Chain A
Amino acid sequence: MSRNDVLVTVDWVQDNLGTPGIVLVEVDEDTSAYDGGHLEGAVKLDWKQDLQDPLRRDYLDKTAFEALLSSRGIGNDDTVVLYGGNNNWFAAYAYWYFKIYGHRDVKLMDGGRKKWELDGRPLSKDAVARPATQYVASEPDLSIRAFRDEVVAAIGTKNLVDVRSPDEFSGKILAPAHLPQEQSQRAGHVPTAINIPWSKAANEDGTFKSDEQLATLYGEQGFDDSRETIAYCRIGERSSHTWFVLSELLGKKNVKNYDGSWVEYGSLVGVPIEK
């Protein structure tokens, strides 16, 4: 696995618009951006409406994921290229999700929607319909997903990487600052976690920094290569971005994303918190 296997440039995507076997998927929490103009031929996945279980706090089970991808016209043999807003946060979450269910060939478009827009590249408002498929997912690969008990057990023994902003890590604010600061959970972070904000891994245009820059960044911030790793944020999408960097770009072993993240951990009764 290397950068070229998991990341494609906006130039590559523009050159491959309409290529059979390549499916572009825009993933956002707020899909009004897609509705206002998307990459030609791209289908949309709404992080909340499509990718979350409608009742429990969890992702879709295998059967529901198969039905979703089949309805979007995504086949097991397709190359799926994901992109989105918010510096690819939700696209990175979807990448992790597609990996959980064993999709063979999935990639991120480097820079996402922002890079595409800043370059002034073309967007389309045409409705996109792809013929339905019979998608078959694998059993979920839980080797890349962490649950709460594992996080508590990891205190002092694994790399716990808190990828939120420094002010969220310190407890000064409870959510990214585009959201009202009214939350039920406690402020702070998991004891022994190191704060390496997701944003340090990205350039201002949303593209990832070079492998050399990334390796230096995590080394300098105290990331211990001899330990297993759990990344977390508030709801698990920014930490998917960091999971992608650590696991897919830098090839580090035993990296998990804790998608329960601070919304879950900061609400647990009796667990230790540092501020």
Chain B
Amino acid sequence: MCGAPKQGGALAGIDLSTQTVIQGQVWHDGAPVAGAYVRLLDGTDEFTAEVVTSPEGEFRFFAAPGTWKVRSLAPVGKGERVLDAGVGLNETTIVID
């Protein structure tokens, strides 16, 4: 499997003592954005993965410890956020102005 799975939902079965999970929501104008494209870029700004947000605007990545950029692209606009992730759960929100 290589396609992006359905976003959102519980982390059942995911071992947070080994996985570096980056997850959150995309917001615009006070509401979550469904169907937004969210991509994860590495420390050199190179593409690592892309998912489409759930009806609740959620996204989730499985990365590795380090600095990452999460960028969202939607018909309403673009937003991005840089974060330092560690092993375990790393949550962030991307706001599209």
Contact = CB atoms under 8 A, between A and B. Distances in A.
B19 A180 contact: yes
Contacts of B3: 28-30, 47, 85-86, 89-90
Interface in B58-81: 60-64, 73-75
Interface residues of B, number: 33
A115 to B, nearest CB: 10
A252 interface: no
Interface string A157-191: 00000000111000011011111111000000000
Given A117-B75, A204-B73, A238 B44 contact: no
Interface of A: 28-30, 32-33, 47-48, 85-87, 89-90, 114, 117-120, 165-167, 172-173, 175-182, 197, 199-200, 204-205, 233-235, 237-238
A30 B4 contact: yes
A125 to B, nearest CB: 15
A177 B49 contact: yes
Contacts of A175: 2, 62
A177 B4 contact: no
Contacts of A119: 75
Contact of A180 (B14, B37, B52, B75): B14
Sort A-B residue pairs by CB-CB distance and give the 8 closest, nearest first.
A29-B3, A199-B47, A177-B49, A178-B49, A178-B4, A177-B61, A176-B49, A165-B48
B35 A165 contact: no
A253 B5 CA distance: 35
Given A30-B5, A86-B4, A199-B46, A178 B62 contact: yes
A177 B63 contact: yes
Contacts of B49: 165, 176-179
Contact of A85 (B18, B19, B52, B74): B52
Contacts of A89: 2-3
Nearest to A238: B2
B62 A86 contact: no
B33 to A, nearest CB: 12
Contacts of B44: 166
Contacts of B18: 181-182
Given A177-B63, A204-B73, A205-B73, A165 B5 contact: no
A32 B6 contact: yes
Residue with the greatest number of chain A CB neighbours at <10 A, chosen from B2, B5, B37 = B2
Contacts of A204: 39, 73
A173 B64 contact: yes
A66 B50 CA distance: 33
B1 interface: yes
B96 interface: no
21 contacts: A85-B4, A86-B3, A86-B4, A87-B50, A89-B2, A114-B37, A165-B46, A166-B42, A166-B44, A172-B64, A173-B48, A173-B62, A173-B63, A173-B64, A178-B50, A178-B60, A179-B1, A179-B2, A179-B62, A180-B62, A197-B47
B2 A118 contact: no
Nearest to A167: B42
